[in-house]
A and B are shown apart, each in its own frame.
Chain A
């Protein structure tokens, strides 16, 4: 869902500076609740979906989201994803690494990327905001899941 309407939403807001990446947040959430295979498959196929609708090199976002998954999965050994601090830090690191790798790969593929402090700042701020909203998104999905399961049990 986020992939499909993110572009329209950002254009409507008139903001291309802030890139809040809910896919990274979802990868973190699925890592906790569906385990590594679920999160890995989600990262892979969402990356392919972004590649389909984007105008860049096919496979680019697939690779980036796989890197995000590996970053969060490796980091989950040091930070607990079921606390508040854990998702914030891991999602921030994952999103930041995604931005840096994207910029680096675009430069390798001969896109004109103007390296500057504002670019670095933009990537950091976007990653920070993504990390900050991660615990809220986790809580929201937990609440939805609990409400849904509660309804199913009642109907059963």
Chain B
């Protein structure tokens, strides 16, 4: 019979290190969602995360209300929400106007985004400090599917990358693993928005002759089949041309303030290119 006490302790260290290396080598470069065991762990720990998140929000709320700013704070909150909605509408009307200009020969066009949306709350954030993702309190049981886009009133937030029955992980657009097919609203220059840091993205693959200037709005192109067309992504804050590079160096400030992300909307739009076999595994 195996006598565990005889196994030298360092063999256990080696075994754990080997498992860690095996996990890394098995998953590098692959798009991977939560397996059944991981979903079970998330289902068990996420309620605690939710409780802590709500506690922090409640304490924050009590602290702010202590200074008799109840009405002012509520009014401010309501006005900010209204402004965000109006901003989003304005961005969409600008997009429609731009589309209308291009489609002058066509007698009619209709607004797209015929998909329903589901509200969700952010209950946790990436604990690593290096990656950018959040956990929301909706999962498969609410009808969510992998790669569904996530937005808020100001713009694009990210997409669903892992799911359990009641919780999901959202990969934010500011994460380096994220890539969103976009175009510049004014000049229709195409590019890919990739995450750079906590408050910045970059618009890659804009050719040297491309017409991009500071202040330009960047919106989703709809070409990646994940995000509907015309959703605001960010604003161009820096454009640089390096003589040794083929593409322009364009920095984009996201419309969404990710440090204050609390409520999001999941657009119930399935990704037709998503490989269902990955989900089953």
Contacts and interface: CB of A to CB of B under 8 A. Distances in A.
Interface of A: 1-12, 14, 16, 19, 36-37, 40, 44, 47, 49-63, 66, 69-70, 102, 106, 109, 111-112
Interface of B: 9, 12-13, 16-17, 19-28, 32, 34, 38, 41-42, 45, 48-49, 52-53, 56, 60, 124-135, 161, 169, 171, 175-177, 196, 198, 258-259
Q: Which 10 A-B pairs have the closest CB atoms?
A: A59-B23, A7-B125, A55-B133, A63-B20, A55-B131, A59-B24, A54-B128, A62-B20, A5-B52, A6-B127
A14 B258 CA distance: 10
Contacts of A60: 24
A61 B129 CA distance: 12
Contact of B9 (A37, A44, A53): A37
B104 to A, nearest CB: 42
A155 B246 CA distance: 75
B20 A47 contact: yes
A19 B129 CA distance: 7
26 contacts: A5-B53, A5-B124, A6-B127, A7-B127, A7-B129, A8-B49, A11-B125, A11-B258, A16-B129, A40-B13, A44-B16, A50-B128, A53-B126, A53-B133, A54-B131, A55-B169, A56-B130, A57-B27, A58-B23, A59-B19, A59-B20, A60-B24, A62-B20, A63-B23, A66-B13, A66-B17
A11 B259 contact: yes
Given A7-B124, A12-B56, A55 B161 contact: yes
A9 B55 CA distance: 11
A9 B19 contact: no
Name which of A4, A9, A56 has the most chain B CB atoms within 10 A of its CB: A4
B176 A4 contact: no
Contacts of B56: 5, 8-9, 12
B131 A4 contact: no
A59 B32 contact: no
B236 to A, nearest CB: 19
A30 to B, nearest CB: 15
Given A55-B171, A56-B130, A59-B27, 20 more contacts: A4-B48, A5-B52, A5-B124, A7-B125, A7-B127, A8-B49, A8-B53, A47-B20, A49-B41, A50-B127, A51-B23, A53-B126, A53-B127, A54-B133, A56-B131, A58-B23, A59-B19, A63-B21, A66-B20, A112-B196
Given A12-B56, A58-B32, A49 B45 contact: yes
Contacts of A106: 130
A16 B198 contact: yes
Nearest to A6: B127
A56 B265 CA distance: 24
Contacts of A1: 48
A154 B73 CA distance: 50
Given A52-B38, A56-B131, A62 B124 contact: no
